[in-house]
Amino acid sequence: MTQVLFFIDRISTWTGKAFAWCILLLTFAVSYEVFMRYVVRDPTAWAFDVSYMMYGALFMMGGAYTLSRDGHVRGDFVYRLWPPRVQASISFVLYFLFFFPGALALIYAGWDYAWLAIKFRERSIWSPAGMPIYHFKALIPIAGFFLVLQGIAETIRCVICLRDGQWPQRLHDVEEMETAILHEQEHLAQLAAETKGEAAGGAR
């Protein structure tokens, strides 16, 4: 079962990291627009559209990756105080009450929305450059699919936690700097305690 969970996690990780490159395109578009607008005095007609399309693609396709890392916002100030089994039971119920209906609705409604956009090769009517947007609308049901897939893995984790009394292991590839610093400090404190204990033993 752990291998199945890690397989789904790896799919979400690959998707999230692939679309993380949108950040570079977004940064380039914004920087180029600032240069053209304030230095050359000739603003572009496409930079704004590229920036919100890149951000939208990153936001949509990064959802499953964030879920696989347990990174979505929740009321942690209450949630973290509960025992693991209580956390798992609450999460399990909420996944079926809210998460899966929302993600499935994204697929159901997004499919027709995306299909029409692709069929007519839709372009933005709000863009002076007439930017094509049908390929970005196609991401709506795709994002919903990856969310459902990762949601299945998360509900399995809830079941395992209810059975074992502790959360199963997750894949970890990156950490927030604050977390990394805390882990480093804990490691240094442990080494200092061990060194102090050895020194005290030698003194005896």
What per-residue confidence (pLDDT) applies to 147? 97
Residues contacting residue 154 through CB under 8 Å, at least 6 positions apart: 67, 91, 95
Structural domain spans, the chain:
2-173, 176-204
What pLDDT, on a 0 to 100 scale, did the predictor assign at position 183?
67
Q: Spell out, as residue ranges, where the chain has pLDDT lower than 50.
A: none
Inter-CA distances, 46 with 30, 80, 126, 129, 146, Å = 10, 45, 11, 6, 30
Give the per-residue pLDDT at 199.
63
The predicted pLDDT at position 161 comes to 95
Extract the tokens encoding 146: 């990856």
Per-residue tokens: 95? 């996944």
Q: What local confidence, expressed as pLDDT, does residue 195 receive?
A: 77
Phi-psi region of 176 (alpha: psi -120 to 50; beta: other; left: phi over 0): beta
Longest C-alpha distance within the chain, in Å?
84
Q: What's residue 175's pLDDT?
A: 56
- pTM for the full predicted model: 0.80
pLDDT at 204: 58
